[in-house]
Amino acid sequence: MPPDKLTNVISTGSREIDDKMGGGVPLGSMTLIEGDSHSGKSVLTQQMSWGSLQDGFRLSFFTTENTVRSLVRQMISLNIDITDYLLLGRLRLFPMEVSQARTETMDVLLQAIQAEGAHGSDMIFVDALTPCITSSPPEAVLTFFEKCKRLCSAGMTIVIVVHSHAVEKELLVRITSLCDAHLRLRTEEVGERLIKAMEVAKVRGASKRTGNIVSFEVEPGFGMRIIPINKAQG
């Protein structure tokens, strides 16, 4: 690992959250973040990208849900200011308009990911892959994940977000089997409160035990705030 890199894991920037993920997702992993709408997938992804930038890594972030301006604004609302990293070239943002695509989106995205790796990016984030999945046959989706896994075996780190309701159950099972880490998010109703829960389904190579379920809220100006289990249940 180059001397300017401060860790060998993908960090959220929060030791408490990283501990719940087995100490952090190891570099060289293909990570799947899965859940329904408004379950906290994008917030978690943004926290992971922020933590990794702070740890000295170079990132490429593909988004189907934001423009560059709206993503920067969204992250600032979570007390994550990525402006300097963009100006320094440490973070590259790529909005994707899948509805306008006239070619096989999975192939185009894979080529773009490979190009970013060649450009010097240590990590690739895709939030979210869902539009590409729904517009592609299952075989193309699996081929995409298989090729991403090969890139990770060669040293790249890739984090992919999908909406679980938009992916057939059998396909989702096959996708998760290919991934090194699987974080499943959902929204739960506790009394009169809606909270978000993250299940750490698996993290291969984790330094600590996984299988944890983490309850959290998204607090404006702060980001992810873990809720103790007794408070979440109360």
Asked if the structure places residue 187 within a domain, the reply is: yes
Q: How far apart are CA 182 and CA 120, in angstroms?
A: 25
The answer to whether 31 and 179 are in contact (CB under 8 A) is: yes
Average pLDDT across the chain, whole number: 90
The string of pLDDT tens digits covering residues 204-231 is 987 777 668 889 998 888 888 888 865 5
Asked if the structure places residue 216 within a domain, the reply is: yes
Asked if the structure places residue 63 within a domain, the reply is: yes
Asked if the structure places residue 4 within a domain, the reply is: no
% of the chain beyond a pLDDT of 70: 92
Give the C-alpha distances (Å, rounded to integers) separating 184 from 38, 39, 76, 213. 13, 9, 25, 9
Asked if the structure places residue 81 within a domain, the reply is: yes
Number of domains within the chain: 1
% of the chain beyond a pLDDT of 90: 70
Asked if the structure places residue 142 within a domain, the reply is: yes
Domain that holds residue 197: 9-233
Q: Decide which of 176 and 234 is more confident.
A: 176
Asked if the structure places residue 1 within a domain, the reply is: no
Output the domain CATH number for residue 111.
3.40.50.300
The arithmetic mean of pLDDT across residues 122-130, rounded, is 97
- Inform me whether the pLDDT recorded for 86 exceeds 90: yes
Question: CB-based burial of residue 115 (10 Å sphere; 0-12 exposed, 13-18 middle, 19+ buried)?
Answer: exposed
Q: Report the DSSP pairing between strands 30-35 and 9-10.
A: unpaired
Asked if the structure places residue 228 within a domain, the reply is: yes
